[in-house]
Structure 1
Amino acid sequence: MSTTVPAIDPTALRARLDRAREAAGTAGVDALLMAPGSDLRYLLGGTGTSFERLTCLVVPTGAPAVLVVPKLEAPGYAAVPTEELGVEIATWVDAEDPYTLVASRLGGVSRVALGDMMPALHVLGLRRALPGAEQVLAGPIVRELRMRKDAAEVAALRRAGAAIDRVHARMAEFVRVGRTEAAAGADIAAAIVEEGHTVAEFVIVGSGPNGASPHHSLSDRVFEAGDVVVVDIGGPVAEGYCSDSTRTYVLGEPRQQDVADTYAVLQAAQAAAVEAVRPGVAAQDVDAAARRIIADAGFGEYFIHRTGHGIGLDVHEDPYIVAGNTLPLEPGMAFSVEPGIYQPGRWGARIEDIVVVTEDGVEPLNVRPHELTVLPA
């Protein structure tokens, strides 16, 4: 089943397919086999859902691509400009073997790359149909293409960033003393859609001690005066590109005496990491810029995750801003910068912006204030 998505210039899509074919050949792969998901959307401009019936984009390195799709689901791909892309549609019906159909279009191959999230049901079916072909992951091939966003992708990320900023600007409507995290989260999820997203992909509202759990989500805890509240929210806009932004709030005067000073350390660390972003800098150096400030202030043990992750059609994708990643940053790379300080049983804080590497520096896509925002108690 496919869903309608905004049209993408067929010329751009054909260039993506050509680059994917070339990258596969360079990697020693005879064909890419992509199931519905973000990689398929990147290459075809259409999306779908993988059920028990196989849908698979077959991209041989030396032949035209073919979309193998159940006949009953083929109408969902009618908006894909297959003729302009040089992609054939090959349908199959129940009682036919789609894996044999894929194999017949490939002939003798020795190595195929499968989409990272392809269900095991289909992986094993393709292994049976192509017994002589080694199966490897397509992720290392496709991510090299997806990491560098073009102008249209960056524009979609800008729209997503502006939309989630509008939700953060409304936070006083949702986070109020006497309400629960769950109630606030439901209203925030609705606002995410109201402000321009297709769906609320995630809503984290961590108040008081819950804020010390980076991936807390929601609970029935009631907001109290003096609570520090971490709000991490995001979702896709119509083009499929995602937002992801975190701000930290306090309901009136914070109860803990160390909140202001500790938060100042976090704010300095996040600013330093953003400032470090520019072409040629290693991803790990951006992480180090934030981590150094937090560690020097004595909070190193409370910064328990990487500084950032890439973002695009997936909320989390390459490049990852983490120690050990020596990848040089390049223009068009988009990722989060989100250091945090989490004190178990007490409170936590995180500041997160999405940024894009430009030709000579960095463009933050979130512009809400970075200060600890005081909400009415």
Structure 2
Amino acid sequence: MAKVVIGLSGGVDSSVAAHLLKEQGHEVIGLFMKNWHDDTVTISDECPWLEDSNDAMLVADKLGIPFQTVDLSEQYKERIVNYMFDEYARGRTPNPDVLCNREIKFDVFMDIALDLGADFVATGHYCQKKTTTENGQTIHHLIAGADPGKDQSYFLCQVSQEQLAKTLFPIGHLQKSEVREVAASQDLITAGKKDSQGLCFIGKVRLPDFLQQQLQPKTGNIIEIPAHLSVSRMSELSTEDEVFSLSRKRTYLESEGTLKGQHQGAHYFTRGQRRGLNVGGTPEPLFIIETDVESNTIFVGQGKDHAGLYRRGLFIKPDEVHWIRTDLKLEVGETMPVMGRIRYRQQLEPATLYQRADGLYMVFDDPQSAISPGQFAAWYKDEECLGSGVIA
């Protein structure tokens, strides 16, 4: 049996994962990652990491496994928080959960675990791993979790073959309800604990409040764009290169729309957002269809079906393309039919990858709502996540 270090988060998923590993006969060590302790940005009196670390310690004690806390707050601030500030300042929308897995759990944390002599690192993610040998090469497959409502493979879309080789997902084959049943049967304190909400490891925060620590409020205009203009703008962008045309971002001018109100900073908002505009009086709700941090302008449209929200294509720069299945990596000029998603919990949608000299294009069969720069597009074959990239 192996020596396994598990990230005990203080939640039910990692608690049950640790129990299952112990039951299988592995030597298990529980580590709690303390990644944030600036309570000035939380919106409640809760101290999430303190409560979570205490629950993790009680679970470890109940299971009879060694437990310790590791402080990764410096690396978290440097790699996640600073990156988030920088991305929002540029008018992009980062995904801290994907970044946290890539930069912290499967990098810094994994290094600590391996230094402790671990054969594997385990997490409570709802995803699965399969290992095969093809043409004499060992290949690790990242497979979706068995519970479709909890599948977290999207959050791990930036892991590598080397990281997967050293990772175990003990609960990936279970339904969430089964995980809670196991926790209750073992009398684990986390059995009925609610799933965590908010930013990865930071807790419940109002994003604008969090961002205002470094991104200062700056008054700008909210401009409503009529749907017909978005349609005509799309045709204006069209070229003989359909893949390129479908992936281009629409741009608008303030003079093309109607002033609806003001906001406190375009960098606090993202495409598809409805809440937080504080503008009423329209027949249908206003949705953000585009932001411009240079002019500090937010462009909005009425209704969730507004043409400005939808686009079929997206582009990923060469240095932002990541293949989990490196053996399937496309060469320039090659294409691949895939199933794709641009956000967590989104249903997989049919798409085609086009690898070109300037980068990777992903074109969906049907228009997608709120394709946002900074987010991750992930592509799949059946239940397997093959790779991902940051939307440019």
TM-score category, normalised to shorter length? under 0.3
Higher strand proportion (structure 1 or 2): 2
* TM-score of the aligned structures, taking structure 2 as reference length: 0.24
Higher helix proportion (structure 1 or 2): 1
